[in-house]
Amino acid sequence: MATITFHGAAQEVTGSCHLIESEALGRILLDCGMHQGGDVVSRLQDEDFPFNPTNIDAVILSHAHMDHSGMLPKLVHQGFAGPIYCTHATADLLDIMLRDSAGLYERDLERENLKLKRQGKKLVKPEYTMDDVEQTLQQCIGLDYGEQHDVGPGARLMMHDAGHILGSSIVELTLTERELNKTLVFSGDLGKRDAVLMNDPSLVRKADIVLMESTYGDREHKTKLDTLNELQSILSETWQRGGNVMIPAFAVGRTQELLFYLGCLHQQGKLDNWQIFLDSPMAIEVTRVYEKWVDLLAEEDIARLNLKHKLPLEEFLPNLFLSVTPEDSMAINRIARGAIVIAGSGMCNGGRIRHHFKQRIWNRNNTLIFVGFQARGTLGRILIDGAKNIKLFGEPYVVKARIETLGGFSAHAGQSGLVNWIGHFKPRPKVVLVHGEPRAQQALAERLWKEQQLRVTIPTNGDSLVF
């Protein structure tokens, strides 16, 4: 008998964390992610683990995005000493992302403590340090897709390509208790079919229980061609207005996909004379990791890029400039028109994109393009919901830039993709929807019942179920 308890991404999109307990497995976490939105210093203080980290035997990590991995250093800081199983590519991405996140956290904490010191208040102790990040990385054990690995006295792990970002995995766990086998499949974040650079999500066909994401359970995505045409139209209109374009982009996955699309437009002679700035040191590093693991990417798109061992961005997209230093970033502010600025963070809660908002969001000639999901409570979600006034660095700003959303860039499967993927399981497993907001989950549940007579469970935070 095994129990799953949901400690995050339950009727919400971020903070993925599910605890599995069984004789065959011990106590293992599926993901250990951070909730997105709000101030990171306050968030890390407020997010306590509802279990003792020293009692966790291992973590199985579906992929490197922070809403799935961001709490690992805090888990280690509080005593977790077990292995962290993930793909080799995910381990490489974690090396970049956790260090970057820790650096931002340390800077924010330093500013917060300086303010508290001036007010004569008690200082905030760090929830984790860079040493904890180093230890976290040492605990990672990289696996190949399709490789079987023992993770408990009666448990085997196999990872399959989820097609979401580089290294992303569908987790398959087989537990043997009292000579009976039970299989749990955790979708992680499922990619969409025909996504740029990524392979289609692997089809797993047998399980007793499936934990399936449901981020876009209530909508579909546009095709590659429709997305490319829509992007070209938005850029052309902004060019005619004499404006600039700001794109908050996730460093992993979305940025590389966006560069591919821009390169395609350039190759077709449809990009005008835009200057393109990748203003994210982390995204630049991540792009080099994509180069390293090019064999894991979709063959068709790699052939289109004429790749052998690396992404030749300078040839494919010659108007691309890589902004590494703060001085490089600030120099972009001197460009009055014709700049496409791709900068982190993807949900606008930090990073360099907020500095570009400060310079340009009040100008009606400019355009802000969202190419990824914006969680509740984030600045990105506030802007998509139509806010006309926002605060940046403590100062009020009016929002006059045009706001556009390109859903076709999503790295998640749409509703039909999710329905198709789960439909390959025979016989029908018990299905639990995670990683989605209630409206999306309910819409997906209704379609699954209508088309497949499949009843699903939608847990709330803290719920447990036995399988």
At 430, which CATH number?
A: 3.60.15.10
Indicate the residue among 370, 394, 409 that finishes a domain: 409
Over 60: is that where the pLDDT of 162 sits?
A: yes
Structural domains counted in the chain: 2
Q: What is the mean pLDDT of the chain?
A: 92
- In the three-class reduction of DSSP (H, G, I as helix; E, B as strand; rest coil), residue 97 is classed as helix
Over 80: is that where the pLDDT of 387 sits?
A: yes
- Output 185 or 1, whichever has higher pLDDT: 185
Over 50: is that where the pLDDT of 467 sits?
A: yes
pLDDT tens-digit map of 283-304: 889 988 887 887 888 877 766 6
Q: How do strand 430-434 and strand 209-213 relate by DSSP bridges? A: parallel
DSSP codes, 335-387: --SSEEEEES-TTSSSSTHHHHHHHHTT-TT-EEEE-S---TTSHHHHHHTT-
User: Considering all CA atoms of the chain, what is the largest pairwise distance in Å, rounded to the nearest integer?
Assistant: 70
Indicate the residue among 409, 424, 455 that finishes a domain: 409
What the block records as the tokens of 175 is: 């537990």
Q: How do strand 169-177 and strand 395-398 relate by DSSP bridges? A: unpaired
pLDDT tens-digit map of 109-129: 999 999 999 999 999 999 999
Query: pLDDT over 90 for what percent of the chain?
Result: 72
Indicate the residue among 389, 409, 429 that finishes a domain: 409
Query: What average pLDDT does this structure show over 79-96?
Result: 97
pLDDT of amino acid 305: 60
pLDDT tens-digit map of 136-147: 999 999 999 999
Domain identity same for 155 and 9: yes
| CB within 8 Å of 356: residues ≥ 6 apart | 246, 279, 332, 333, 341, 343
Query: What average pLDDT does this structure show over 102-107?
Result: 90
Angle in degrees, CA 85, 88, 92, rounded to 5: 105
Residue 341 φ then ψ, to 5°: -110, 115
238-265 in b/e form (b: 16+ CB < 10 A) is bbeeebbbbbbbbbbbbbbbbbbbbbbb
Rounded to whole angstroms, the Cα distance separating 401 from 386 reads 11
Domain identity same for 271 and 135: no
Domain identity same for 92 and 179: yes
Nearest Cα neighbor of 350 from 254, 297, 280 is: 280
Over 50: is that where the pLDDT of 309 sits?
A: no
Query: CA 319 → CA 150, 160, 341, 380, distances in Å?
Result: 48, 36, 12, 27
pLDDT of amino acid 42: 85
Instruction: Quote the domain boundaries for residue 377.
Output: 224-409
Q: Is 188 exposed, middle or buried (0-12, 13-18, 19+ CB in 10 A)?
A: buried
Domain identity same for 402 and 455: no
pLDDT tens-digit map of 245-295: 999 988 888 888 888 889 888 888 999 999 999 998 888 899 888 878 878
Domain identity same for 37 and 111: yes
Phi-psi region of 30 (alpha: psi -120 to 50; beta: other; left: phi over 0): beta
Q: For residue 313, what pLDDT band results from cuts at 50, 70 and 90?
A: low
**Complete edge-to-edge strand list for the sheet that includes strand 402-405:** 320-322, 275-279, 339-343, 245-248, 367-370, 402-405
Query: pLDDT over 70 for what percent of the chain?
Result: 97
Going by the DSSP 8-state scheme, the letter that residue 405 receives in this structure is E
pLDDT of amino acid 394: 86
Domain identity same for 17 and 161: yes
Query: What average pLDDT does this structure show over 24-47?
Result: 88
Domain identity same for 56 and 100: yes
Rounded to whole angstroms, the Cα distance separating 458 from 10 reads 8
Q: Are 289 and 93 in contact (CB under 8 A)?
A: yes
Domain identity same for 127 and 232: no
Domain identity same for 448 and 400: no
What the block records as the tokens of 101 is: 């996140």
Domain identity same for 22 and 160: yes
Residue 251 φ then ψ, to 5°: -65, -30
Rounded to whole angstroms, the Cα distance separating 125 from 130 reads 14
Kindly report the CATH number assigned to the domain that includes residue 245. Answer: 3.40.50.10890
Q: For residue 80, what pLDDT band results from cuts at 50, 70 and 90?
A: very high
Domain identity same for 275 and 324: yes
Over 60: is that where the pLDDT of 431 sits?
A: yes
Helices then strands, counting H and E runs in the chain, come out as: 15, 22
Q: Are 433 and 444 in contact (CB under 8 A)?
A: yes
Q: Are 104 and 40 in contact (CB under 8 A)?
A: yes
Over 50: is that where the pLDDT of 307 sits?
A: no
Domain identity same for 440 and 402: no
